[in-house]
Amino acid sequence: MPRRPILRIAEVFASLQGEGLRQGEPTVFVRLAGCNLRCAWCDTKFARRGGGEVSLPDILAAVRFLRQAFPATWACLTGGEPLLQETRPLVRALRREGFRVQVETNGTRECPVGVDWLTVSPKPPRFAVQPGLVGKAREVKLVVSRELTLAAVRAVRRRFPVSTPLILQPHGMAAWSMKKAWRLLVEAGRRGWPNIRLMVQLHKVLKIK
């Protein structure tokens, strides 16, 4: 008998998308467990290891249950780093359920399946991005951490097509990070670097998950 696809899952929940250009849209999140990076300021440390092994049918059952009460047309695979696992069957199944699918990745793994929205969020110190992601990203997100420099903003901006928006995202609601994000935005603008904007995490403003 063929084995049913199993994924390591940290949580499945419904909320609005709080980050990036899809901000405000009702979304079901599937948070995959495991990450290959160790960002000091990570706000999902619980998802970096552990998680539970869940079969594809059980993930879909949870998603369907959430959708009964929450009018989401988008599903977002996040983490941890979702692309460390074999996500193709899940992406295809979610699409068959009628969802548009977003993947949020740290950029260190190629995305082997077509998705409707790919968010690439390169992380310090290397801000590494797999070549295959460059043309597929619908948005690029940089968390304004202590490590983020103007040179790193420039390097990431140059790595992606000008038409791909680059978002500076303050770290949570930290005042120092918001001020730094503003300074970086102004400096980038003075230098004529294109298509950079500042967006805060809406779910943190609203104090929801």
Angstrom distance (rounded) from CA 95 to CA 90: 9
Angstrom distance (rounded) from CA 83 to CA 98: 22
Exactly one of 8, 22, 31, 48 binds ligand SF4 (CB under 6 A); that residue is 48
What are phi and psi for residue 102, nearest 5 degrees?
Answer: -110, 145
Please tell me whether residue 18 adopts helix, strand or coil conformation.
Answer: coil
Instruction: Specify the length of the chain in residues.
Output: 209
Distance from chain centroid for Cα 144: 15
Of the listed 29, 99, 127, 160, which one is catalytic? 29
Cis peptide before 79 (omega within 30 of 0): no
Check binding of 201 to ligand SF4 (CB under 6 A).
Answer: no
Exactly one of 5, 21, 25, 44 binds ligand SF4 (CB under 6 A); that residue is 44
Of the listed 104, 108, 119, 139, which one is catalytic? 104
In the bound complex, what is the minimum distance in angstroms from residue 128's beta carbon to ligand SF4?
Answer: 11
51 vs 79 by CB, closer to ligand SF4: 79
Check binding of 37 to ligand SF4 (CB under 6 A).
Answer: yes
* Interacting residues toward ligand SF4 by CB under 6 A: 35, 37-39, 42, 44, 48, 79-81, 106, 123
Q: Just list the catalytic residues.
A: 29, 35, 39, 42-44, 104, 203
